[in-house]
Amino acid sequence: NVDWALTRERYWGTPLPIWKDEDGHKLCIGSRADLSKYGKDIPADLDLHRPYVDDITLTCPQCRKDMKRVTDVIDVWFDSGSMPYSQHHYPFENKEIFDENYPADFICEAIDQTRGWFYTMLAISTLLYKKPSFKNVLVLGLINDEKGQKMSKSKGNVVKPWDILNKLGADALIWYFFTGVSPWLPKNFSEKAIDEVIRKFILTLWNTYSFFVIYAKIDKFNPHGHDLAIADREEIDRWIISELNRTVKEVDRLLEDFNVTESGRMIQDFVDMLSNWYVRRSRRRFWKSEEDKDKISAYLTLYECLVTITKLCAPYIPFLSEELYQNLVAGTGKGCQSVHLEDFPSADRTLIDEDLSFKMNTARKVVGLGRAVRNKINIKTRQPVQKVSIYFNGDKKATEAISHFESVILSELNAKEIEFAGELAELVSYDIKPNLAIVGKKYGPMIPGIKKALAESNSTQIALKVKNEKTIKLDIDGKILELEPGELLVEIKNREGIGVETDGEFTVGLPTGISKELVAEGFAREIVHHIQNLRKEAGFEIENTINTSIEAPAAQQETIEKFGAYISKETLTDSLGRDFGPGMFVKEIRVNGIDLKIGIKVTGSIV
């Protein structure tokens, strides 16, 4: 580093405590006692700033001539660097507080402070105590505009913070800064990225909380009125509690390491799991009318997850966390006044069940792939399919996990059976071509013969040989040719009648053809979905029971009758008919290309 030019020719600031006489003798004053020693009649309450301090004349201890203060002040960065001492008025007082807090655990500022505050703190502490005044520096990168350009007034690309705070909220902005990229990297600021944060995280958390609140109100659920040990709860409850504790453990570890980005992403992953797997799969447990052990287990589990997540999130999204906490905890007369007075959660390692976690995650992987297949072959989620075919070449544990969660996978993928494929070839076929970049030069005129021979041979066997890096023998018009595995290109193709997705570990296939019976079942499910939408549109309460009337062509009427019990149960329908009485909320709807008229009317309530 270059030398620090300590003085500034300014008026405001800490006066440089150096007095000089005309002979060039200099005196550095270190205290009020020093001042009184070299000066006469110095008031005890003298303001040590300019202009008062400039009036003080001292006497030179060498030649007894008058000394005047040099007019310079000290660089303000010296004051900044003195912060650890001056904030406690140390060493004049507060020695205990100082000793307890020095050096600081961490300091945090943007990267432009490297030669500013970070440096001056270090320089002064090194001069005074030969050690740093902080243990860690958390550096923030600068924020650029959407295109990575520095924000500047002249370019007109400055984003006004208040506009963002008012429009999108402070928590969304903070979460974006924490989890978007590591804080020390420069960021390209875009509103779109914050919208994404709101959609992917803030709303997911809020909706999960709302779900709990809606049903807890209907059921007048008292989270403190039950005592159900985790070990006695349902498997999915034990699973999410295990994931919760794993998340707390990891977040704690990452924060010890000042890693806000990874820890924030862990929280986000958990909230996603909680909402898109736990709550979605547990919905019916909250809907049902009887308050049995299963329902209490679900309520307690979701409540505990939400409360812990609220505490976990408090340092990241202070406002939303407080809102949730006030209702979930403070509102019940328990806990602290504010989430920000709570202790940070600590993990209960005895509740982390690695085996269960592995099993559920395996099932979730398979379901994820299965859903991707549905998208690919364009079969709607509500349309049941006959079977899920799974190929997995590896640890038996994974196949056991799939069998363990068979019913979960089947319901998630809306299928009737699971089938394990013995060979990948049962799910996919291979398209094998010569790699012309290599083979072209080597075998030139023989290429058509090679292509013909490849087309006539067993593509699965060749693909297997390529995979195992074995040479491939081809018979080309009576001449045997040996090809190296790298001389062939293997492309995986779907087999006729089956759609496939793979993550390299698991390969999941669904049939593209659907039987008449399954089409009818899918139709019934669509009707349920439309009645649910209609209930919302009509403004009915979740707990309302209804009468439902459907007008449909004869063929569909038969389907509706066949699935009548199912449709009624799913939609809280007391009576399912064809007559549209007065006061019915009626709408014409097109379902799978069929025109229907559906009417609903409130009859009562399940509570």
Nearer to Zn ion, 19 or 563 (CB): 19
Nearer to Zn ion, 23 or 395 (CB): 23
Nearer to Zn ion, 62 or 154 (CB): 62
Nearer to Zn ion, 60 or 518 (CB): 60
Give least dist CB 60 to Zn ion, A.
3
**Residues 2-61 interacting with Zn ion (rule: CB under 5 A):** 21, 23, 25, 60
Give least dist CB 19 to Zn ion, A.
10
Give least dist CB 69 to Zn ion, A.
14
Give least dist CB 62 to Zn ion, A.
5
Nearer to Zn ion, 8 or 25 (CB): 25
| SS3 (DSSP) at 452 | helix
Strand partners, 475: 480
The residue with tokens 């070990």 is: 231
Rounded Cα distance between 206 and 212, Å, is: 10
Residue 226's nearest CA partner among 304, 122, 139 is 304
Give least dist CB 26 to Zn ion, A.
9
Nearer to Zn ion, 65 or 155 (CB): 65
Rounded Cα distance between 278 and 235, Å, is: 11
Rg (CA), the chain: 36
Give least dist CB 65 to Zn ion, A.
5
Nearer to Zn ion, 65 or 224 (CB): 65
Give least dist CB 17 to Zn ion, A.
17
* 280: amino acid identity, one letter: R
DSSP 304: H
Give least dist CB 63 to Zn ion, A.
4
Output the DSSP codes for 115-161: TTHHHHHHHHHHHHHSS-SEEEEEEEPPEE-TTSPBP-TTTT-PPPH
Q: Which of 63, 165, 436, 455 binds Zn ion (CB under 5 A)?
A: 63
Locate 22 and state its tokens.
């005309």
Locate 361 and state its tokens.
């995650």
Residue 205's nearest CA partner among 294, 317, 84, 354 is 317
- Region of 65-73, 292-300, 326-334, 540-548 interacting with Zn ion (CB under 5 A): 65-73
Mask: binding to Zn ion, 430-469, rule CB under 5 A, as x and -? ----------------------------------------
Give least dist CB 7 to Zn ion, A.
21
HEC assignment per residue over 232-292: HCCHHHHHHHHHHHHHHHHHHHHHHCCCHHHHHHHHHHHHHHHHHHHHHHHHHHHHCCCCC
The residue with tokens 């943007």 is: 110
**Is-contact 189 166, C-beta < 8 A?**
no
Nearer to Zn ion, 35 or 510 (CB): 35
User: Using the rule CB under 5 A, is 62 a contact of Zn ion?
Assistant: yes
Nearer to Zn ion, 60 or 244 (CB): 60
Nearer to Zn ion, 22 or 292 (CB): 22
First to last CA, the chain: 75
Locate 246 and state its tokens.
């794993």
Give least dist CB 25 to Zn ion, A.
3
Number of residues that bind Zn ion (CB under 5 A): 7
| SS3 (DSSP) at 318 | helix
What is the b/e burial string over 315-340, where b = at least 16 CB atoms within 10 angstroms of the residue's CB? bbbbebbbbbbebbbbeeeebeeebe
Nearer to Zn ion, 64 or 441 (CB): 64
Rounded Cα distance between 77 and 72, Å, is: 15
Contacts of 487 by beta carbon, 8 Å cutoff, 6+ apart: 434, 435, 438, 439, 442
Report the interface residues with Zn ion, using CB under 5 A.
21, 23, 25, 60, 62-63, 65
